[in-house]
Amino acid sequence: CYQDVNLILPFFSEIGYKLLYIHLEVGMNKELLNCERVWLNVTPATLRPDLADYGLLEPHALGVRDGKIHALVPMQDLKGPYAASWQDMKGKLVTPGLIDCHTHLIFAGSRAEEFELRQKGVPYAEIARKGGGIISTVRATRAASEERLYELALPRIKSLIREGVTTVEIKSGYGLTLEDELKMLRVARRLGETQPIRVKTTLLAAHAVPPEYRDDPDSWVETICQEIIPAAAEAGLADAVDVFCEHIGFSLAQTEQVYLAADQYNLAVKGHMDQLSNLGGSTLAAHFGALSVDHLEYLDQDGIQALAHRGVVATLLPTAFYFLKETKLPPIAALRKAGVPMAVSSDINPGTAPIVSLRMAMNMACTLLGLTPVEAMAGVTRHAARALGEQERLGQLKVGMLADFLVWNCGHPAELSYLIGVDQLVSRVVNGEETLHG
């Protein structure tokens, strides 16, 4: 059934490509022949759960077609001379694209002055109670035009792009009126359309009670349920709905109301849970089949069992833990023991995580929270994909998955959690398109 084929394929003029002359044994490699583009001689860290640790494989040829990984063939199965045109990556590491599954990267204003106050000893919760905190960002974000918000978000998203993030979740939550929440979500969608990155949007109108509703928080929750969720859903602007379930945020009963409304519109739910105290939010979220619960410093054993039972992702946000100088650690050992998938994310926001780097969050997940580098890597790939409901399409290197991947100039995948601040990307591919300098 073998058949020798000689093919001349079109020449792509990018640097690093040579003229094409292919001599392949079709019996083994016909799927490669059908690819639009092939990265030859890459060492895949597949992050496949059926393989140990990083899911490392021997050197492979990785081929892309129609925006998907179409072929992944061991180099030793390729018979030379072959594919002179295909870019030889010389054994470099290839990983799935990084996924930042929890950010608030659209906002206006700065909270640097608040940082001054905090460094003088004023606690975050007290600043929030006095109309600072989230509400000060709400004022600035409402005052900013859609165009201005977009411009402000661009350098942030570009920093993520440069370090290898190929999917980012962006929340609203600094508008807190119908129009301003939709404005934020439109900016998020526009970033996804104009930048080489996938954007998933989350409606977080239940982030704080806006000043107009200070004396009647329940009617803000009503507005969210009856106006904002329906409008965001009908405009196709929200992929999920989130709630800040906390004593300075929303009660368990209010959280449940928001989740019920989201359910009516078939929107997935998520939660900022157990960050500063435990209101039972994780158990509630699990009951609703949430995609993820995030933060989790005060998560208890009941919550852990509920997450494990429903397969809910626990998203760790070590940057906020660090920046708030928290001392109570999320229960990592118990989550691990219960087999709860742990994602890691940057939580980019002006109040508690002004750190625009997922690599830094991976490092902190290891140094501060006690994850291993392999857990941190799974946390920004396979488990982060699940936290966005995208586990069938993203987060692993596997034939049939979307072609979002990264080729790295680094010796071992642990380096991605270990080394901070060095540009190690050789190739960045989103949806099958090379987008390194997007």
Nearer to ligand DI6, 134 or 184 (CB): 134
- Residue from 89, 106, 134, 149 in contact with ligand DI6 (CB under 6 A): 134
Decide: helix, strand or coil at residue 169: strand
- Smallest distance from ligand DI6 to CB 244, Å: 4
The footprint of Fe ion on this chain (CB under 5 A) covers a number of residues equal to 1
Q: Cβ-closest residue to ligand DI6?
A: 351
Q: Looking up tokens 């002004």, which residue turns up?
A: 354
Instruction: Determine if 137 is a binding residue for ligand DI6 (CB under 6 A).
Output: yes
Q: How far apart, in whole angstroms, are the C-alpha atoms of residue 401 and residue 382?
A: 12
Q: How far apart, in whole angstroms, are the C-alpha atoms of residue 136 and residue 153?
A: 18
Would you give the binding string for ligand DI6 spanning residues 345-374, x where CB under 6 A is met?
A: --x-xxxx----------------------
Task: Give the residue ranges of DSSP H helices in 216-350.
Answer: 217-223, 229-234, 252-264, 281-287, 301-310, 318-323, 332-338
Strands (E), 347-404: none
Q: How far apart, in whole angstroms, are the C-alpha atoms of residue 438 and residue 435?
A: 5
Instruction: Determine if 347 is a binding residue for Fe ion (CB under 5 A).
Output: yes
Is the CB of residue 292 less than 8 Å from the CB of residue 269?
no
> What residue 275 binds from ligand DI6, Fe ion, none (CB within 5 to 8 A, per partner kind)?
ligand DI6
> Considering all CA atoms of the chain, what is the largest pairwise distance in Å, rounded to the nearest integer?
78
115 backbone dihedrals φ, ψ, rounded to 5°: -65, -40
Nearer to ligand DI6, 43 or 275 (CB): 275
Nearer to ligand DI6, 134 or 160 (CB): 134
Query: What would the 3-class secondary structure string for 60-83 be?
Result: EEEEEECCEEEEEEEHHHCCCCCC
Q: Which stretch binds ligand DI6 (CB under 6 A): 27-35, 45-53, 215-223, 344-352?
A: 344-352
- Smallest distance from Fe ion to CB 244, Å: 8
Instruction: Determine if 244 is a binding residue for ligand DI6 (CB under 6 A).
Output: yes
- Residue from 29, 41, 95, 275 in contact with ligand DI6 (CB under 6 A): 275
Q: Which stretch binds ligand DI6 (CB under 6 A): 20-28, 47-55, 343-351, 362-370?
A: 343-351
Q: How far apart, in whole angstroms, are the C-alpha atoms of residue 81 and residue 93?
A: 23
> What residue 137 binds from Fe ion, ligand DI6, none (CB within 5 to 8 A, per partner kind)?
ligand DI6
Give residues in contact with ligand DI6 (CB under 6 A). 133-134, 137, 207, 244, 272, 275, 320, 347, 349-352
Site residues for Fe ion per CB under 5 A: 347
